[in-house]
Amino acid sequence: MNLKKKTAIITGGSLGIGATIAIELAREGANVAINYRKHDTEAKEVAKKIENLGQKCLTIKADVTSSTDAENMLKQTIKSFGGLDILVCNAGINKDRVIWKMSEMDWDNVINVNLKGYFIYNKLAASHFKDQRSGKIVNITSINGLRGKFGQTNYSASKGGIIALTKALAKELGKFNINVNAVAPGMVMTEMAKKIPPEFLQKAVDETVLGRIATTQDIANVVVFLCSEKARHITGEVIKIDGGQYI
């Protein structure tokens, strides 16, 4: 999956799934720009790993809900690398509570980061890719955007919105030779997941048919494929990466 001379932006690229995606895109030859909110040290570590692979990395501290920050990131990326070919939207948060205990702030924060943030970056990339008549967009959603999840009405709504955004945008951009897809992980063994009580992790394992929890590498492998020309005839799809957890 040769991505030489390609440039990618990954939101939320300092940790977990986003960091692994950034590194794997670089492994295939892409220069990478990542944004992050507060993990300066981790962002620098990702950049070092990318540079050790012989690629360039731009790290930008940016709020994904800010159009101004997003426009600045796009400009810096194009100035540094000469263009943009790939967008991976990954930044997200969760504030889990049953709805009768959920505040409006809990709702608004999750929707703003997880859905508005995707809108902002998808819009910017769409405008750029439309003019150059090529580009790849991959949005990270969740199986909980497909099935819903107890205690996650805000998160599930945001992830379901990403799925609808992806499908609608694929229809708008298809005639410009732009692929727009989403991947929907189940439980993934990230630093956040490691803090979950063992009994809840085991419940996720029991839901799968493969009997294991995904690694961030499992997610990155599929994202890199969707960013390559091997996936040139795939658009508007939501690919579950969940070990059969959804079924």
Q: How large is the C-alpha radius of gyration of the chain?
A: 17
pLDDT of residue 190: 87
pLDDT of residue 103: 97
State mean pLDDT over 69-80: 97
pTM score of the predicted model? 0.95
Residue 1 within a domain: no
Residue 13 within a domain: yes
Nearest to 46 by CA among 25, 67, 62: 25
Residue 148 within a domain: yes
Residue 71 within a domain: yes
pLDDT in tens, 139-152: 999 999 999 999 99
Tokens for 155, please give them: 């998160």
**Average pLDDT of the chain, as a whole number:** 96
β-bridge mates for residue 35, sequence order: 60
Quickly state the pLDDT bin for 199 (edges 50, 70, 90): confident
Residue 208 within a domain: yes
Q: Is the pLDDT of residue 195 over 80?
A: no
Tokens for 208, please give them: 């799968």
Tokens for 197, please give them: 């009580």
Return d(Cα 241, Cα 143) in angstroms, integer.
Answer: 8
pLDDT of residue 49: 98
| Strand 135-140 versus strand 178-185 pairing type | parallel
Residue 225 within a domain: yes
Q: Is the pLDDT of residue 2 over 90?
A: no
pLDDT in tens, 37-73: 889 999 999 999 999 999 999 999 999 999 999 999 9
Is the Cα torsion angle 189, 247, 1, 121 positive or negative in sign? Answer: negative
Task: Find all residues with CB under 8 Å of 53, minimum gap 6, and list them.
Answer: 23, 26, 27
pLDDT of residue 194: 79
Nearest to 112 by CA among 71, 65, 164, 77: 65
For 24-28, 187-191, 237-241, which range has the lowest pLDDT when averaged over its residues?
187-191
Share of the chain above pLDDT 70, in %: 100
Cβ atoms < 10 Å from Cβ of 196: 15
Residue 2 within a domain: no
Quickly state the pLDDT bin for 136 (edges 50, 70, 90): very high
Q: Is the pLDDT of residue 85 over 80?
A: yes
The boundaries of the domain holding residue 59 are: 7-241
Return d(Cα 163, Cα 3) in angstroms, integer.
Answer: 26
Catalytic residue among 36, 121, 155, 246: 155
CATH of the domain at 161: 3.40.50.720
246 is catalytic: no
| Strand 86-89 versus strand 135-140 pairing type | parallel
End-to-end CA distance of the chain: 30
Residue 221 within a domain: yes
Return d(Cα 156, Cα 198) in angstroms, integer.
Answer: 23
| Structural domains of the chain, count | 1
